[in-house]
Amino acid sequence: MANKSSVLLIYTGGTIGMIQDASSGELKPFDFKSLTKQVPELNKFDIDLSSIAFPKPIDSSNMHPNVWVQLVKTIQSNYHKYDGFVILHGSDTMSFTASALSFMLENLAKPVVLTGSQLPIGIIRTDGKENLITAIEIAAAKEKGKPIITEVCIYFEYKLYRGNRTFKFNSAHFDAFKSPNYPALAEAGVTIHYNKGNLLKPGKGQLKVYTKLENDIAVLKLFPGISQKITSAIINTKGIKAIILETFGAGNATTQAWFIKELQQAIKKGIIILNITQCPEGRVIQGMYETSSQLKKIGVISGADLTFESAVTKLMFLLAQDLNKQKTVRLLQTNLRGELTQE
């Protein structure tokens, strides 16, 4: 008989870990040592389940790169003890965390599944129980003795997505996440169906963990009538190393001379400008229209179909690696962890 799968549950905070105080009605974190009391269905699993909880739960709006470092160090120190990892996390910034972890964990050969909920686990109508139970099942799933999933994912409302392809699009319904530019990795119904052609292959070398991130990044989101003084203030912010330019459609921007000149001067100073589309679905194709051809000519980098969350965290990751600008630009346009579709 095969050995049981083992899964480490890491609770960072978020709605899923809350229960309602019977007397006051307030929501408060519950003790994860008594997890099986809150979710008795876990006792039916033939899985060795352990848990670690952050001493002070973090609302995901307060998520920070320092926490991502803490998470990858936790995975690194427990990597050979467990077959999979489930991270309980607030949904608001879950896609940022999933994207960051994907870059920080190179040669990953085990599942890291983030999940959470829109309603606390102590509420009768909670979506938290199903999300938690299925995320654990996915993290424990093996085929021929090897993990089925070997990447950083998000499981929410019956679907498993590649983490660095997601964004939170809904705060009112249980299906909180979308991945419009990449299909689901698995769908949970009566059984869990894995779309195996969509999965990343496991890393071949030893797990490599990166613990340095650089957050000197600015975001310039375009809108009709954006002023030169605002644009200039953002571009000339002291100390920035990269700017994410959120453009229209397939990567289009105003062709006003002052705007192109501002970008050109920033690029000459060594600042990387990464062009991503404001559209939830689709990709940047610089040069398709006149309104993006000038961006391409002056050296703005195409972000292809990167999500905003993935663009932010990939820049944070690459800028911290002490690479020259040429290599950083090349890797920005290279598919490292399944985060973009290369032309």
Pairing of strands 146-147, 112-115: unpaired
H-helix or E-strand spanning residue 309: helix 308-319
C-alpha 296, offset from chain centre? 27
Q: Is the dihedral of CA 258, 259, 263, 269 positive or negative?
A: positive
H-helix or E-strand spanning residue 146: strand 146-147
Domains present along the chain, CATH in parentheses: 5-209 (3.40.50.1170), 217-332 (3.40.50.40)
DSSP state of 131: H
Active-site pick, 15, 134, 166, 254: 15
* Predicted confidence (pLDDT) per residue in 234-285, tens digit: 999 999 999 999 999 999 999 999 999 999 999 999 999 999 999 999 999 9
Q: Which residue has the higher pLDDT, 173 or 271?
A: 271
Can you tell me the mean pLDDT for 79-100? Answer: 95
* Predicted confidence (pLDDT) per residue in 128-160, tens digit: 778 899 999 999 999 999 999 999 999 988 899
153: its two tokens: 């994912």
H-helix or E-strand spanning residue 45: none
DSSP, collapsed to helix, strand or coil, labels residue 274 as strand
pLDDT at 80: 96
Contact 300, 286 (CB under 8 A): yes
Which are the contacts of 276, defined by CB distance < 8 A and separation ≥ 6? Answer: 244, 245, 246, 247, 251, 284, 303, 306, 307, 308, 311
Which are the contacts of 284, defined by CB distance < 8 A and separation ≥ 6? Answer: 247, 250, 251, 275, 276, 277, 292, 302, 303, 304, 305
- Give the C-alpha separation, 306 to 165, whole Å: 7
Contact 318, 240 (CB under 8 A): no
pLDDT at 1: 39
pLDDT at 263: 97
pLDDT at 187: 93
Is pLDDT at 165 greater than 90 in this prediction?
yes
- Give the C-alpha separation, 1 to 19, whole Å: 38
**Of 96, 59, 121, the residue nearest 177 (C-alpha):** 96
- Give the C-alpha separation, 307 to 318, whole Å: 16
In the block, tokens 């952050």 appear at: 54
Can you tell me the mean pLDDT for 23-38? Answer: 67
In the block, tokens 């709006």 appear at: 61
pLDDT band at 342 (very low <50, low <70, confident <90, very high): confident
Is pLDDT at 171 greater than 80 in this prediction?
no
Is pLDDT at 108 greater than 60 in this prediction?
yes
Q: Which of 56-60, 95-99, 264-268, 292-296 has the lowest mean pLDDT?
A: 56-60
Q: Which residue has the higher pLDDT, 26 or 180?
A: 180
Whole-model pTM: value is 0.93
Percent of the chain with pLDDT over 90: 69
Can you tell me the mean pLDDT for 280-294? Answer: 87
Contact 222, 248 (CB under 8 A): yes
The span from the first CA to the last CA of the chain, in angstroms, equals: 46
309: its two tokens: 């969350």
pLDDT at 157: 85
- Give the C-alpha separation, 88 to 70, whole Å: 14
Can you tell me the mean pLDDT for 293-308? Answer: 95
234: its two tokens: 């953002």
Contact 113, 79 (CB under 8 A): no
Pairing of strands 146-147, 142-143: antiparallel
pLDDT at 291: 78
pLDDT at 143: 94
pLDDT at 34: 59
Q: Is the dihedral of CA 23, 27, 28, 30 positive or negative?
A: positive
DSSP, collapsed to helix, strand or coil, labels residue 81 as coil
DSSP assignments along 214-252, one per residue: ---EEEEE--TT--HHHHHHHHT-TT--EEEEEEBTTTB
C-alpha 293, offset from chain centre? 30
Q: Which residue has the higher pLDDT, 178 or 332?
A: 332
pLDDT at 60: 84
Our answer to whether residue 15 is catalytic in this structure is yes
